[in-house]
Amino acid sequence: MDIEHLGLDAEDPGRLLRLGGPPLGQRAALAVLQGPSEAWLREAVTDLQADRDYAASRLNAMPGVTVHPPTGCYFLYCRVDAGGLPAWKLAEYLLTDARISVISGHQFGRSGRTYLRVSGCVGRERLREGLDRMERALARLAVKTSAT
């Protein structure tokens, strides 16, 4: 299948990227449409693994956070001791205080009430910024909960 087969302008394949959808899916679709994807796929998997490992290392260095890096995906499921705060409340706090979006582990079952799911596929710079924000927000939360 080629780009013309889809009725898209071959002179502007980037148009696909402006239509919406997850960035990783956009990159994959564009690579497939433009030719052999083996090299791109190898590079993408290597980048995702490096970002996942970076995120796991950063998260494990945060007080009260424990994560075991996954072997098959870029999502990290981390246990967070936030002074008894349930995961859904912690996710809400991180969204409002640190402006980062994580998924509460309670959505994955009862045992997930102290876990958060963090995505490692946003690119190294955004990942670094998000983890910096998370670290600062958790430190502020620790000060608040120890004061009460």
- The burial class, CB within 10 Å (0-12 / 13-18 / 19+), for 109 is exposed
Is residue 43, in this structure, part of any structural domain at all? no
Asked whether residue 119 is assigned to any structural domain, the reply reads yes
- What pTM was computed for the model? 0.72
Q: Are residues 70 and 141 in the same domain?
A: yes
What pLDDT is recorded for position 3? Answer: 45
What's the domain count of the chain?
2
Residue 136 within a domain? yes
- If asked whether residues 20 and 53 sit together in one domain, one would say no
- Crossing angle between the packed helical segments 124-147 and 38-61, to the nearest 10 degrees: 20
Same domain, 10 and 62: no
Phi and psi angles of residue 116, each rounded to the nearest 5 degrees, phi first: -125, 145
Residues of the chain with confidence (pLDDT) below 70: 1-21, 37, 147-148
What is the torsional sign of CA 58, 134, 47, 78?
positive
The answer to whether residues 17 and 63 belong to one domain is: no
